[in-house]
Structure formats: structure tokens, C-alpha cells
Amino acid sequence: MRSDGSTTLPAEVQELLAELLPAMQRGLRDELLGVYLFGSVALDAYTPGTSDVDLLACLRTDPDASTAESLRPVHDSIVARWPQWRDRVEVAYVGVESLARFREQPHTIARICPGEPLHLRSVDVDWLVDWHVAREHGRTLLGPPARRLLPRTTSEEFRRAVATEMGSWVRQLHQVDAALDRQAVPAPGLLAYLVLGLARGLRTARTGEHVSKEEGARWVARTYPRWASLAEHAVAARRGEPFDPRELSLPAARAFARFVQAEAESALRRPLRRPAAMRRRALLAAGGGLGAALWALQQPLDKRVFGADYDDVELLGRFFPRQRCWRSLGLALHVLNGAIFGLAYSEVWRRTPRVSPRVSAQMAIQMENVGLFPLAMLVDRHHPAREWLASAWGARQLAQATWRHAILGVVLGEVAARLARTFEQRGATPASEGRAAGIRRASRPDGG
């Protein structure tokens, strides 16, 4: 796991990027400001051999014909070396100055996507979905953080843009439906792609959040049991696993599209609730403070058990030796530290949705314990009130600290677990590929 809480990139993606990024730098030179990875890879939902790799490359100025000409050999060489990446690498090259004004006027980008070679095209506000996802959920591969180069977009803007996009998907589904009705065998990969895209879009319309297609399908299965079978079989077809064609069928996809459209329209008539992230942060900060308070209250007991008189409240309070209320100050600082850790853990939890919150809370707090415990030697030597303090360093003190941190981990894990259940019931999430081009790729015989 990386320091930001996200997992390491799949090996085949790392191999691709190790070749592609330097080639982009050579082709663009000083024009290239940053490269950002988004889509299924950034959401830790990558399916080997199926998922695309989505990149956004930020340039100093809008790309032109000479820019496209310099980039074609870059992408041609990638496909020549790794044929398995044909139609699975999608890159948008966009000038940051025009991107800052994307709501006001169209601008030109260079783009390569499944089914289309590198080309120039004009884009407008309809591309808000891509910019939002890259800014809010992308990984920085090169350059400054995405939020420094990409314009800010709100969750309300995002969900409305996704709802608009879903309308075009429904229209495309009917067009594809008519085409497939003229064929003897429908393309399951195409149906799965559309069903999963609509499931994810509905979740966004309800919550304003972005998740992977498969996570959107799992949410639909939990929230709308009527569509659970369709969602599950769509996931199976997308992965190339066995599925029941009677469940993943044209009539079912048609009915689901009508349902999604009606639900999305209903959701948009209601104001977006405060983002789940706000509630998650507030409650986990409160949980951290509560865990720290319990930690402090039980200290007299663990001093007897471990035979160590080290006291965290005293350590903090004695930084103010001239204050009569040093113990109250120490307790307040200790609780504040717990709240700050709870706030930090909320981001860890958001980035590790597949790990049980009770497990991830203990892992996070014990990593903090092990990482900071060596500072106990400095406390023993340099604390301004060291002559009044029991030693903070030693094997018994480490066991004592592990126990105390475990208490905080238990409280945080329980709060996070309860939040997870609440979010599932309300259609939110602790966490959080293109459009028509992706549909073209999905319609290939292998359903990729």
C-alpha cells in the first residue's frame, strides 16, 4: 500500500506507464505540465485484460496539428510493443488555460481512445465529468497535484453532468438495441458495459460521488434488490466469467435503463445531501476524541497491569508546569490528538474500501504507535518536566502503548463499521471510463 492509502498499480499498468510517460515527455518537452491517472485503475478496480488505462495530460497551451503529429509515434510504438493494449489506452491532452475556462467556451484537445486514433477535437462543458474525476479521484504520475492545474467542480455539477450523460447512454442503448435485434446473438460485453455504466451513474445521481462500475453494480444490488441479479450477471460478463443470458438480456437492460432514468430524475429534484465525506470526517474525528478519552480514563488500570507509570495526559500537561490546570490541559490535548488521528484515519478508510474498517483502524493506529514510539527516548531526555515524569521508554512501556492504541483503534473501527452500514443503507460510500468510445470497445466480440 502506498503512503496516500491507495494500492500499488498493477504490474502490467506499471510496465505500460514506464514506457509511455518518458515517451510523452520526449514528445512534448516543456509543453507537458502534468499527467494524471484516473478511471478504474485509480479506483483500485482494475480488471486485467479488460479495463482501460485513462490518462489526462495537462499542457501549457492547447494542442494543435504539430502536437498531434509529435504524439502519434508515441502511441504507435506502445501498440507495436504491446498489442494487448490496443484500444485500451485513453489519453486526453488539454491546455490548462483553456481548461480553466471550459464552462465559458469550447476548446481543442488531442485525444486517443478505444476505436479512434489520436486526433484533435473540440470539447465543451459536457466534458465536466472527465475533469471532475481526474481532479478529485486521479493519481498524480507527473507534475503537481491535479487540484493545482484542473478547475474546481462541485459534487452537484458532477452529478447533473453524469445524469445528462446517462440520458445519452439510454439513447445509445436503444440504438444498440435496434442493431442487436437485427442480429442472431446479442453482444454480452456491450450489454454489461451499459448496465454497469448506468448503475454507476445512478449512484452518482443519488450521492454526488464517483465509484467504479463494479462498485456501482454492487450498490445497485444492495439498494434495489429487484435489479440484483442483472447487476451480478453484468459484472460476471464484464469479467469474462460465466453468466446467465436470460438474466443479462436486452429486455432486462431496457427495463433497467428506464428505471435508472426515472430514479435519476427523481434524485435530481432533491437537493444533494451533505457529502458523505463530511459526515465521515466529523464522526471519525469525534470517535478519535472519544477513544482518546477512554484511553486516558483507563490509564490507572493499565499502569498496574504493565507495571509502568508512564502517563500520556501527564506528559502533555507537564509542558505547562506553571499552570495549576496542567492535567486538564493535558487531557484536552490528548483528546485533540485523538480527534486529529480520527480525521486522518477517515482518509485512510476512504482509500481502502475493501478492507474491514475494524481491521484498517487497528492497522493504522498500530503503525502510528510503532512509528512514533522511538520518540519516547527524546521525551525521557528533553521533556521540560522530565524529573517529574515516569520513563516513557522500555519494553513494558511499548506493550502499554500498544494496549492504549488498541483501545483507540477499537473505538474508531466500530464508528467506521457503523458508518459503513449507514452509508450502504442510504446509498452513499466512504470512497468513492470514456463514453461512446468505451461502448464501441465493449461491443467487440470478446466484450472487452
Q: Domain residue spans in the chain?
A: 11-149, 155-272, 276-426
Confidence of residue 433 (pLDDT cuts 50, 70, 90): very low
8-36 pLDDT, tens per residue?
899 999 999 999 999 999 999 999 999 99
In contact, 188 and 170? CB cutoff 8 Å: no
SS3 label, residue 111: strand
**φ and ψ at residue 92, rounded to 5 degrees:** -110, 125
Sign of CA dihedral 87, 88, 89, 94: positive
> What string of DSSP letters covers 257-326?
HHHHHHHHHHHHTSPPPSPHHHHHHHHHHHHHHHHHHHHHHTHHHHHHHHT----HHHHHHTTSTT-TTH
**φ and ψ at residue 414, rounded to 5 degrees:** -70, -40
Checking if the pLDDT of 407 tops 50, the result is: yes
CA distance 423 to 278: 12
Q: Give whole-number Cα distances, 148 to 73, 100, 151, 234, in Å.
A: 29, 11, 8, 37
Confidence of residue 406 (pLDDT cuts 50, 70, 90): very high
242-255 pLDDT, tens per residue?
999 889 988 899 89
% of the chain residues with pLDDT over 70: 86
In contact, 64 and 14? CB cutoff 8 Å: no
Strand partners, 112: 91
Confidence of residue 387 (pLDDT cuts 50, 70, 90): confident
Checking if the pLDDT of 55 tops 80, the result is: yes
Record: fold of 11-149: Beta Polymerase; domain 2 (3.30.460)
CA distance 38 to 36: 7
In contact, 391 and 310? CB cutoff 8 Å: yes
Q: What is the structure's pLDDT at 447? A: 40
Sign of CA dihedral 416, 419, 425, 427: negative
188-225 pLDDT, tens per residue?
778 898 899 999 999 999 888 889 999 999 999 999 99
> Chain-centre distance of CA 343, in angstroms?
17
pTM of the shown model: 0.64
> Chain-centre distance of CA 195, in angstroms?
21
Q: Give whole-number Cα distances, 420 to 80, 343, 346, 351, in Å.
A: 45, 16, 12, 13
Q: What is the structure's pLDDT at 275? A: 54
The C-alpha R_g of the chain, in whole angstroms, comes to 26
CA distance 132 to 210: 9
Query: In whole numbers, what is the pLDDT of the chain averaged over residues?
Result: 86
Place of cell 468510445: 437
User: Which of 123, 114, 67 is CA-nearest to residue 91?
Assistant: 114
Q: What is the structure's pLDDT at 323? A: 66
Checking if the pLDDT of 445 tops 80, the result is: no
Checking if the pLDDT of 178 tops 60, the result is: no
Burial category of 42 from C-beta neighbours within 10 Å (exposed 0-12, middle 13-18, buried 19 and up): buried
Q: Which three cell numbers stand for residue 240?
A: 469474462
Mean per-residue pLDDT, 229-247: 91
User: Which of 359, 393, 356, 397 is CA-nearest to residue 378?
Assistant: 393
Q: Which three cell numbers stand for residue 405?
A: 492504541
Mean per-residue pLDDT, 105-112: 95
Q: What is the structure's pLDDT at 277? A: 66
Checking if the pLDDT of 426 tops 60, the result is: no
Confidence of residue 3 (pLDDT cuts 50, 70, 90): very low
Query: Same topology for domains 11-149 and 155-272, yes or no?
Result: no
Angle, to 10 degrees, between the axis of helix 326-351 and the axis of helix 357-372? 130
Mean per-residue pLDDT, 54-69: 96
Mean per-residue pLDDT, 83-99: 94
SS3 label, residue 84: helix
- Cross-sheet strand order for the sheet of 107-113: 116-123, 107-113, 89-95, 53-59, 32-38, 139-142
In contact, 153 and 132? CB cutoff 8 Å: yes
410-425 pLDDT, tens per residue?
999 999 888 877 765 5
Q: Which three cell numbers stand for residue 114?
A: 478505444
Q: At residue 437, what is the residue type?
A: A
Q: What is the structure's pLDDT at 8? A: 83
**φ and ψ at residue 131, rounded to 5 degrees:** -65, -40
First to last CA, the chain: 28
Checking if the pLDDT of 1 tops 70, the result is: no
Residue of 224 and 115 predicted with greater confidence: 224
Confidence of residue 436 (pLDDT cuts 50, 70, 90): very low
Confidence of residue 441 (pLDDT cuts 50, 70, 90): very low
In contact, 133 and 92? CB cutoff 8 Å: no
Confidence of residue 165 (pLDDT cuts 50, 70, 90): confident
Q: What is the structure's pLDDT at 28? A: 95
Q: What is the structure's pLDDT at 444? A: 42
Burial category of 393 from C-beta neighbours within 10 Å (exposed 0-12, middle 13-18, buried 19 and up): middle
Checking if the pLDDT of 431 tops 70, the result is: no
CATH class assigned to 155-272: mainly alpha
Q: What is the structure's pLDDT at 274? A: 57
